[in-house]
A and B are shown apart, each in its own frame.
Chain A
């Protein structure tokens, strides 16, 4: 805790009033934009890849995922996508859900679903990539 020797009788709220923001939201804002910028080339690559796999047999998809470059790029794309999706939905909730508890529940459920989907997708890719 910060020193209170100067004016120990003041409340914490009183001390921070007028000092501006908590100065930590900027990192979150920037991280979201960084991931978004990263997704521009990754999703273009992914779109080209799935266009080429549109009529693929199972063996074609396996061969494609056996290539390390494809597996690694797809893993990065997946993690970035689920992060971006969960954060994007969070911004929508923060704009339209006004009840504190409902908003917290929506954000928590979305993050949980994103983690489950990301883990399942990553596991599927790794299983194929490391498989025979």
Chain B
């Protein structure tokens, strides 16, 4: 008897990642981590590119060729977006760490700004890279 009354009451359940639609601020937060991890992997490419430049024209040409290939360009496009996102979200975190804007409304607004800004920044960088 007690079981049915509990069921009828539809008690709130604790949210679980698999059934819970994350708020934008939460998606924005975990994206900061993912982009940070991706950028760390990207430092391998940066080191490789610098070492190739130091070892001579042949190795550098190989590096430039690989980075200029379709897969290389796709990786660089992803890297640019991850960089732009991590930069903007990082600035937001520094502002938070300074104790400003720590509330739900500004977290929501800033998440939109960071996502939007990251795409704008990526577009600017790639237009500039091809135009120059």
Contact = CB atoms under 8 A, between A and B. Distances in A.
Sorting the interface of chain A by its residue count into under 10, 10 to 19, 20 to 34 or 35 or more gives 20 to 34
Contacts of B83: 43, 47
A33 B33 CA distance: 16
Nearest to B61: A58
B53 A58 contact: yes
Nearest to B33: A92
A92 B94 CA distance: 18
A51 B94 contact: no
A61 interface: yes
A39 B61 CA distance: 29
A124 B51 contact: yes
A82 B90 contact: no
Determine chain A's interface SS by DSSP, over half rule.
helix
A62 interface: yes
Contacts, number: 70
Sorting the interface of chain B by its residue count into under 10, 10 to 19, 20 to 34 or 35 or more gives 20 to 34
A128 B132 contact: no
Contacts of B33: 92
B82 to A, nearest CB: 12
Nearest to B128: A51
A59 B58 CA distance: 11
A100 B36 CA distance: 23
Interface of B: 33, 36-37, 39-40, 43-44, 46-47, 50-51, 53-54, 56-57, 60-61, 64, 83, 87, 90-91, 93-94, 97, 125, 128-129, 132
